[in-house]
Amino acid sequence: MQALKTVALATIAVASGAATAQANPWYIGLSQSFNYQSNMLRAIDGTVLGPDQSKSDTLSTTALVGGLDQTFGRQRVSASATLRDDRYAKNDLYNNQGWTASAAFDWQTVNRLSGNVSLASSRSLASFNLQEIGLIRQRNQETGTSLDTTVRLGIAGPWSLEAGLGRRNIDNSLEQAALQSRNYRQDTGSVAAGWRPSGRVSLRLGLRKTNGLYPQFQAQADGSFQPDRFRREDVDLFVGWRPSGASQLDLRISSGKTRYDLAQQRDFTGVTGSFAWNWVPTGKLSLNTRYTRDTGQDSYAVTVFDRNLGFVPGTSDYSRVQDVLRIRAEWAATAKITVSASLSEADRKLVRTLPPNIFTRSVTTGGERNTQTSLGLRWTPYRSTLLGCELTSERRRGSGDLGTNLSTEGLNCFGQFTFQ
């Protein structure tokens, strides 16, 4: 922590002394946020906390941020990294350090061949209260890594071909069997044919296959683990349409099936997909609407740092199916002040994913409806400085044996200084 503060002070000194420097393809900066939550631990109704735990708390996050975005002829290299120190005012047993890092290389030949390679990694505190497991009374950090590569070939006129490969790993730091059973590996391959008849319409039809593995799904009597494998196959249709310069619509419809070797209660056959509508009715107002329907692994998201929004918390979603509707609006009140509001409604279909034992039934189900709202204000007094606050609210209502109820309200204020 002391080293991070020292580097942070040095960053401010260097940036302050270079205020007259010209813009560069890289940036480096310091961020500080304070996030108060009335139910920081996401304790479900009726939970009894230990003597060293507090339901409400304030999280202080200090971070160094940096990035690069550089083009070389037809090629482009971009990267970003965040080093983070999280400190809780009351629940100090959860204090931790983490990171978020990503890098990408976009390439193109003189002919019709192009593609990109991207790598991402993050380490952050996992959810305090996990479905089926309950409140985690120790610090459990979750590490996620991903590697994706895509190659595109323009055939003739509006036609193109595309192929992709991807790898994702998720690991938990605590050695508890229930947590280790959620570590997983996932490999995905896809091929697709695209057609762009005009600058406003694009279509793509593809095949996607995913192989996954939970290497420590079930502990054996001899101390070894029995893995659980899953396979997913999808047919994907992508449609992009720009009806006007102020509106963009993107649609994905996927028909497929998922099969597990052991956790067969999570088997799924049906339609998934997403719909996104970005609308900018005026120069000051923008609206973003997105609806997604997918299975648990594809709902996974790691903690990320957004230069405009601050830290966005990640979640590990092990639901069988989740439907999510998100609406976000931003209004530029002035050239330096932006007001934002968002609404998120998630409907999760739950089924027991942990290995059965003598205390649990082999198949248990439930459901949850989660509503989240936010109202925020961002102020950019200078090009290098960003300040803001956001009010948040979350309500969860459950049904069945696995559904849970909880609520929390919060206030998150943050500031960031970057030199570019």
Mean pLDDT of 98-116: 93
- CA 367 to chain centroid: 22
| Angstrom distances, CA of residue 222 to CA of 31, 209, 219, 270, 363 | 48, 34, 8, 39, 25
Residue partners of 267: CB distance under 8 A and separation at least 6: 257, 258, 259, 260
Q: Which residue in this structure is represented by tokens 């790993």? A: 169
Q: How far is residue 16's CA from residue 92's CA, in Å, rounded to a whole number?
A: 33
Task: Quote the tokens at residue 51.
Answer: 């003597």
Question: What's the confidence (pLDDT) of residue 40?
Answer: 95
Question: What's the confidence (pLDDT) of residue 312?
Answer: 40
Question: What's the confidence (pLDDT) of residue 299?
Answer: 47
pLDDT tens column, 120-146: 999 999 888 887 788 888 999 999 999
Task: Quote the tokens at residue 194.
Answer: 């695209």
Q: Which residue in this structure is represented by tokens 């970003």? A: 80
Domain housing 34: 2-419
Amino acid letter for position 79: A
Question: What's the confidence (pLDDT) of residue 218?
Answer: 86
Question: What's the confidence (pLDDT) of residue 252?
Answer: 96
Confidence of residue 360 (pLDDT cuts 50, 70, 90): low
| 357-373 burial code (b ≥16 CB/10 A, e <16) | eeeeeeebbbbbebebe
Mean pLDDT of 160-185: 92
Mean pLDDT of 50-73: 94
What percent of the chain is predicted at pLDDT more than 90? 66
Reported as half-sphere exposure (CB side, CA atoms, 13 A), residue 257 has a value of: 5
* Residue 255 pLDDT exceeds 90: yes
* Residue 220 pLDDT exceeds 90: no
* Residue 68 pLDDT exceeds 90: yes
Q: How far is residue 329's CA from residue 191's CA, in Å, rounded to a whole number?
A: 35
Mean pLDDT of 398-409: 91
* Residue 359 pLDDT exceeds 70: no
Answer yes or no: are the C-beta atoms of 297 and 186 closer than 8 Å: yes
Write out the H or E segment, with its range, that includes residue 15: helix 2-16
For residue 155, with 0-12 CB atoms within 10 Å meaning exposed, 13-18 middle and 19 or more buried, which class applies? exposed
Answer yes or no: are the C-beta atoms of 88 and 52 closer than 8 Å: no
pLDDT tens column, 269-299: 999 999 999 999 999 999 999 999 998 765 4
* Residue 3 pLDDT exceeds 80: no
Task: Quote the tokens at residue 247.
Answer: 């509106």
Mean pLDDT of 75-88: 96
Answer yes or no: are the C-beta atoms of 103 and 76 closer than 8 Å: no
Question: What's the confidence (pLDDT) of residue 308?
Answer: 42
Range with lowest mean pLDDT among 77-86, 129-138, 179-188, 393-402 = 129-138
Q: How many separate domains does the chain show?
A: 1
Q: How far is residue 254's CA from residue 294's CA, in Å, rounded to a whole number?
A: 9
Q: How far is residue 54's CA from residue 128's CA, in Å, rounded to a whole number?
A: 12
Mean pLDDT of 157-172: 93
Helix (H, G, I), strand (E, B) or coil at 2: helix
Average pLDDT of the chain, as a whole number? 87
Task: Quote the tokens at residue 290.
Answer: 């997105």
Q: 3-state SS of 81-122?
A: EEEEEEEECCCHHHCEEEEEEEEEEEEECCCCEEEEEEEEEE
Question: What's the confidence (pLDDT) of residue 310?
Answer: 41
* Residue 354 pLDDT exceeds 50: yes
Q: How far is residue 302's CA from residue 134's CA, in Å, rounded to a whole number?
A: 20
Q: How far is residue 2's CA from residue 8's CA, in Å, rounded to a whole number?
A: 10
CATH number of the structural domain spanning residue 400: 2.40.160
Task: Quote the tokens at residue 266.
Answer: 């999570």
What percent of the chain is predicted at pLDDT more than 70? 87
Mean pLDDT of 346-354: 85
